């Protein structure tokens, strides 16, 4: 497998953006535009134009059929009520996840369980190179994530979907300072 190094040391951020843009194609199955948010890094390198959703659909079916699926995966496969119930769990983690292919960027998101979410990302990454850098538990994970994204927007942090150009130290500080209590009274 030929790996393409995304960011050369001499590259400016503007050049990097152009580079990402030039490699961004559309999903062969559903035609959605491929971005760091919906395109597995290993697929970028292999020029495999499939979005995470389309790829996961096939992958999840295989996992369920071979009995290797976790509760979340099974819920996702069954869909409808099962997934609805899994996703209705209000509490959970706000996390920062990294991948070496998107160096300098972090995915700031929320999940019932950050490590389960990360395992899920790995399904499309033979390199197994996603890493949960940090996570914190919240009573209301959606609200906590919304506050995190709002705060990143206020700070004018460059963004592509749920990926932000932010140092881990800053992301940790941001997530750490979020408090459930801030909105519980509201």
Which residue carries 């099974």 as its tokens? 74
Which residue, 13 or 53, is less far from Zn ion as judged by CB? 53
Residue 54 found at the interface with Zn ion (CB under 5 A): yes
Site for Zn ion in 59-98 (CB under 5 A): none
Q: Minimum distance from CB of 79 to Zn ion (Å)? A: 17
Q: Minimum distance from CB of 55 to Zn ion (Å)? A: 8
Cα–Cα distance, 48 to 3 (Å, whole number): 12
Site for Zn ion in 29-48 (CB under 5 A): 29-30
CB 159 within 8 A of CB 152: yes
Which residue, 29 or 87, is less far from Zn ion as judged by CB? 29
Cα–Cα distance, 169 to 3 (Å, whole number): 28
CB 19 within 8 A of CB 8: no
**Binding segment toward Zn ion, per CB under 5 A, in 23-31, 40-48, 61-69, 136-144:** 23-31
Q: Minimum distance from CB of 43 to Zn ion (Å)? A: 11
The residue count of the chain comes to: 186
Which residue, 56 or 145, is less far from Zn ion as judged by CB? 56
Residues touching Zn ion: how many (CB under 5 A)? 5
SS (H, E, C) 81-138: HHHHHHHCCCCEEEEEEECHHHCCCEEEEEECCHHHHHHHHHCCCCCCCCEEEEEEEE
Which residue, 27 or 147, is less far from Zn ion as judged by CB? 27
Q: Minimum distance from CB of 20 to Zn ion (Å)? A: 18
**Binding segment toward Zn ion, per CB under 5 A, in 25-33, 97-105, 121-129, 135-143:** 25-33
φ/ψ region of 25 (left if φ > 0, alpha if ψ in -120 to 50, else beta) reads beta
Cα–Cα distance, 66 to 48 (Å, whole number): 24
| Given 34, 51, 63, 174, the residue binding Zn ion (CB under 5 A) | 51
Which residue, 30 or 47, is less far from Zn ion as judged by CB? 30
What residues make contact with Zn ion under the rule CB under 5 A? 27, 29-30, 51, 54
């Amino acid at each position: 497998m030929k790996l393409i190094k995304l960011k050369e040391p001499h590259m400016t951020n503007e050049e990097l953006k152009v580079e990402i843009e030039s490699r961004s194609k559309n999903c062969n199955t559903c035609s959605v535009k491929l971005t760091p948010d919906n395109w597995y890094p290993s697929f970028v390198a292999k020029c495999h134009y499939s979005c995470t959703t389309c790829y996961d659909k096939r992958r999840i079916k295989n996992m369920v059929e071979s009995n290797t699926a976790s509760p979340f995966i099974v819920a996702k496969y069954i869909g409808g009520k099962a997934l609805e119930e899994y996703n209705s769990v209000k509490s959970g983690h706000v996390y920062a996840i990294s991948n070496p292919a998107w160096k300098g960027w972090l995915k700031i998101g929320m999940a019932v369980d950050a490590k389960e979410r990360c395992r899920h990302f790995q399904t499309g990454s033979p390199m197994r190179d996603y890493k949960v850098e940090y996570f914190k538990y919240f009573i209301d994970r959606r609200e906590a994530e919304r506050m995190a994204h709002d705060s990143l927007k206020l700070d004018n942090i460059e963004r592509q979907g749920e990926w932000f150009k932010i140092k881990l130290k800053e992301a940790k500080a941001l997530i750490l300072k979020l408090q459930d209590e801030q909105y519980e009274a509201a």
